[in-house]
Amino acid sequence: MSKTVDLNADMGESFGPWTMGDDAALLEVVSSANIACGFHAGDPDVMAATMARARDHGVGIGAHPGFDDLQGFGRRRMQVPQDTLANLIRYQLGAAQGMARAAGTEVRHLKLHGALSNMASVDHAMARACYEAALELDPDLIIMVLAATAMEEVVRELGCNWCGEIFADRAYNDDGTLVDRSLPGAVIHDPALAGPRILQMVQEGAIITESGARIPTAIDTICLHGDTPTAVELARAVRRALSEGGIEVRAFDGRRG
């Protein structure tokens, strides 16, 4: 059996008259789409159009909930009580499920967005509150977690369906965290570099850090971006490198435990 991996990207981040990202290009590259749910980006029209396109491309649909902060695009940290967080997740996931059902498809996975994701990746209780709320709506939902973070601990505890994610364009520290964006080399812009690097990580089943260390982890999906032409180019390069390396790109099935 050949090895497989998923490629995911955030989509449906337009809002009203404003467009963002090159969703059309990304849909040719990825196997899963994380679709904004109207709180930090996306509106019901954008969601409907994005889901229809993802469905037509056979791309797996995920709900991508974020903080209720349109101006800040969900990237500003907010101190929100856990009960409120749980309801925020339930509401956005429910809306996404309803819109998917109306489009004759379904929400397969959930990925937290922006500051909500950053905070939950180091806050066990917060991640748990979010994921438990989501699983109440669908116990088979696949939770996408940042590999080797508190998020992964939580999904293992919950025994739910999950998949582990690494970034195609970010360098890693030896403790599994991302190299700070302000440091040189933190963000990888060169497609020629990104492709082989990701192929190697997938083949080894480990994050390869900046120092060359290996962190064995579940690499089920690779996060790509489409906000710039360069990002789309890098996304294509990663897909090409994986294919040439004999790795099949297809939506994850989720793993348990």
Binding residues for its own copies (CB under 8 A): 14-20, 38, 41, 43-45, 47-48, 68-73, 76-80, 83-84, 87-88, 90-99, 101-102, 115, 133, 136-137
Smaller CB separation from its own copies, 137 or 249: 137
Q: What is the DSSP letter of 177?
A: P
Smaller CB separation from its own copies, 56 or 253: 56
**Shortest distance, position 96 Cβ to its own copies, whole Å:** 7
Q: Cα(77)–Cα(120) distance, rounded to whole angstroms?
A: 11
Smaller CB separation from its own copies, 133 or 151: 133
**Shortest distance, position 6 Cβ to its own copies, whole Å:** 24
Question: What SS3 class is residue 34?
Answer: strand
**Shortest distance, position 243 Cβ to its own copies, whole Å:** 32
| Burial class of residue 57 (count of CB atoms within 10 Å of its CB; 0-12, 13-18, 19+) | middle
**Shortest distance, position 53 Cβ to its own copies, whole Å:** 15
- Measured in degrees and rounded to the nearest 5, phi and psi for residue 166 equal -125, 165
Smaller CB separation from its own copies, 91 or 177: 91
Smaller CB separation from its own copies, 2 or 71: 71
**Shortest distance, position 162 Cβ to its own copies, whole Å:** 19
**Shortest distance, position 154 Cβ to its own copies, whole Å:** 18
Question: What SS3 class is residue 178?
Answer: strand
Residue 117 region, left (φ>0) first, then alpha (ψ -120 to 50), else beta? alpha
Residue 156, Cβ neighbours under 10 Å: how many? 15
Q: Cα(61)–Cα(33) distance, rounded to whole angstroms?
A: 5
Smaller CB separation from its own copies, 11 or 199: 11
Residue 9, C-beta contacts closer than 8 angstroms, at least 6 positions apart: 26, 29, 30, 32, 33, 34, 223, 224, 225, 226, 235
